[in-house]
Amino acid sequence: MSNALRAMTGFGIIGILLIGVGMFQSWNVALAIFNLCLISGVMALGVNIQWGYAGLFNVGIMGFAAVGGVAAMLTSQPIIYSAWQAGGTGILVSLVMVLILAAAMIFLSRKMRAGWAKNIVMVALAVGGYITIRNVFDPAVLAIESDNPAKSGYLGGLGLPILFSWLIGGVFAAGVAWIIGKIALGLRSDYLAIATLGISEILIAMMKNEDWLTRGVKNVTGLERPVPYELSLQESPRFISWVEWFNSSSLSGLSDDARAERLRQLVVEGSSIFVKLCYSGLFLSVLLIVLALCVLALASPWGRMVRAIRDNEISAAAMGKNVTRRHLQIFVLGSAVVGIAGAMLTTLDGQFTPSTYQPLRYTFLIWVMVIVGGSGNNLGSVLGAFIIWFVWIEAEPAGNWLMENGTAWLGDDSGLRAHLVDSAQHMRLMILGLVMLLVMRYSPGGILPERTRQN
């Protein structure tokens, strides 16, 4: 099959499956799955930029998604003036001090000659600076966190519409990626994997514990939405008349009471479907824009260059290409796309909860999407995201169902059966690992392999 046919079949099957869920489970569930498919698609594109274009093995996807989430929260939450009054100055002063310290250290490390004297000065500067900054920073943090801790206890955000945050999330993630890339990209590829794994965990730890900035584990809930609220829709006469019009055939022929009752149910159901559709529209446009940009970039001379670097770093370097610089560029771009997806996810959830970020769900699942879909192929990554997300969600009921029925012959009081049924949820991990290994070995290109056009 040609790639185009494969892509059409793949998306077709997913479409049919989603419609099936809509008909047999509910349209709300189907749309919820679809929305997360779209977000996963954007995230997978980000990973594909790094892995497929440049062969960078970034195992810190979770961290960048979380940075996007922080951006969504900080952009949309209102400013909390009392907290700024309590400790804003201290935070700003310590921030400036950090910058000065970093500048001083960079300056000295360039100016001084290597040797014992330099090491001692650097360590003294670092320790001394750290203690001084902590002395300014700690009281400020304490002041902010004790400002109405049950409801706020943090600095708040910028009070902008949350849609801006998708862009800001990308910028934040790009900034973090730049710093990480500067440190880690010069070294061999295994190291990048270890470094990103560690950094993503540290980013999450900071979000959990720096309450003054993110409210930490107390979570920020009730983020503002870019789409209407269900309850206001349910009260809006226009929306009700839409629903009435849309369902006029099923409503006709009912008695007045039954009709009003049925209409009310339809309005409630319709309102949450409508909200989800609004989200779908937004996410789909982002996905299409990012996808189009990725396709264009890959086909451009720049795309050829990065693939040349990926396939043979040494000869690309010999041709005068700056490999480290390109790698940094791609790392930053890919992370920015992941950051955008992370901000979208937090927008959809309507809350920022640092403890939900787990490497399994936010790093490795995305990786499996890219590998299964086709590394190096943008459309393939998106297809992989759709398929794997659908499997991930439906694996739980399917796994339970299989275990329940597959072990029925053991009898109800069998200890082994009880154990197998209880462990069904862990099948997810095994299936995921197995799929990843099988695809890597037997179909290294994935469902939609990368096309290499030979001119």
Partner 1 sequence: MKKLLLASTILAGLTGAAFADGHEVKMGVILGFTGPIESLTPDMAAAAELAMSETAGKVLDGKTIVPVRGDSTCTDAAAATAAAERLITAENVVGIMGADCSGVTTSIVNNVGVPNGVTMVSPSATSPALSTIEDKGFFFRTAPSDARQGQVLADILKDKGITKVAVTFTNNDYGKGLAESFAAAFQATGGSIAISAAHEDGKADYSAEVGALAAAGAEHLAVFGYVDQGGKGIIQTSLDTGAFDKFILADGMIGDSLIAAIGKDLEGTIGTLPGSESDGAAKFKEVATAGGLAKNDGPFMPESYDAAALMILAMQAAGSTDRAAIQGKMMDVANAPGEKILPGELVKALDILKSGGQVDYEGASNVTFTEVGEAAGSYKELVVKDGKFETVKVR
Partner 2 sequence: MIDFLNAFVLFSNFVLVPGIAYGAQLALGALGITLLYSILRFANFAHGDLMAFGTMAVILFTWLFQSWGISFGPLPTALLALPFGIAITAILVLLTDRFVYRHYREIKAVPIRMVMASVGVMFLMNGLVRFIIGPNDQNFMDGERFIIKARAFKNATGLNEGLALKSSQALTIIVAIILVSALFWFLNRTRTGKSMRAFSDNEDLALLSGISPQKVVTVTWIIAAALATVAGVLYGLDKSFKPFTYFQLLLPMFAAAIVGGVGHPVGAILGGFVVAFSEVTVTYAYKKLFTYLLPADYAPEGLLQLLSTDYKFAVSFIILVVVLLVRPTGLLKGKVI
Binding characters for partner 1, 243-262, by CB under 8 A (x = yes): ------------------x-
**Nearer of residues 219 and 236 to partner 2, judged by Cβ:** 219
CA distance 68 to 49: 17
Residue 325: phi, psi to the nearest 5? -65, -45
CA distance 64 to 80: 26
CA distance 320 to 318: 5
Q: Interface residues for partner 1 in 329-368 (CB under 8 A)?
A: 349-351, 353, 355-356, 358, 361
Is residue 21 a contact residue for partner 1 (CB under 8 A)? Answer: yes
- Smallest Cα–Cα separation from 10: which of 372, 285, 271, 299? 372
Please, what is the minimum distance in Å from the beta carbon of residue 219 to partner 1? 6
Residue 378's contacts (CB-CB under 8 Å, 6 or more residues apart) are 45, 48, 52, 291, 294, 295, 298
Please, what is the minimum distance in Å from the beta carbon of residue 187 to partner 2? 6
Q: Interface residues for partner 1 in 172-231 (CB under 8 A)?
A: 208-209, 216-219, 221-222, 229-231
Residue 164 touches which of partner 2, partner 1, none (Cβ within 5-8 Å per kind): none
Contact by Cβ (8 Å): 383, 371: no
Please, what is the minimum distance in Å from the beta carbon of residue 186 to partner 2? 9
Please, what is the minimum distance in Å from the beta carbon of residue 38 to partner 2? 25
Is residue 269 a contact residue for partner 1 (CB under 8 A)? Answer: yes
CA distance 238 to 226: 20
Please, what is the minimum distance in Å from the beta carbon of residue 43 to partner 2? 17
**Nearer of residues 261 and 311 to partner 2, judged by Cβ:** 311
Residue 110: phi, psi to the nearest 5? -85, -35
Q: Interface residues for partner 1 in 418-437 (CB under 8 A)?
A: 425
Please, what is the minimum distance in Å from the beta carbon of residue 211 to partner 2? 11
Is residue 7 a contact residue for partner 1 (CB under 8 A)? Answer: no
**Nearer of residues 279 and 357 to partner 2, judged by Cβ:** 357
Q: Site residues (CB under 8 A) for partner 2?
A: 55, 57, 59, 183, 187-191, 193-195, 197-199, 201-202, 205, 208-209, 364, 367, 371, 422-423, 426-434, 436-437, 440-441
Is residue 139 a contact residue for partner 1 (CB under 8 A)? Answer: no
Q: Interface residues for partner 1 in 271-330 (CB under 8 A)?
A: 271-272, 275
CA distances from 431 to 61, 172, 298, 407, 434 (A): 21, 34, 32, 19, 5
Is residue 50 a contact residue for partner 1 (CB under 8 A)? Answer: no
Among 3, 6, 11, 17, binds partner 1 (CB under 8 A): 17
Residue 238 touches which of partner 1, partner 2, none (Cβ within 5-8 Å per kind): none
Binding footprint of partner 1 on the chain (CB under 8 A): 13, 16-17, 20-21, 23-29, 32, 149-151, 208-209, 216-219, 221-222, 229-231, 234, 261, 268-269, 271-272, 275, 349-351, 353, 355-356, 358, 361, 393-394, 397-398, 401, 425
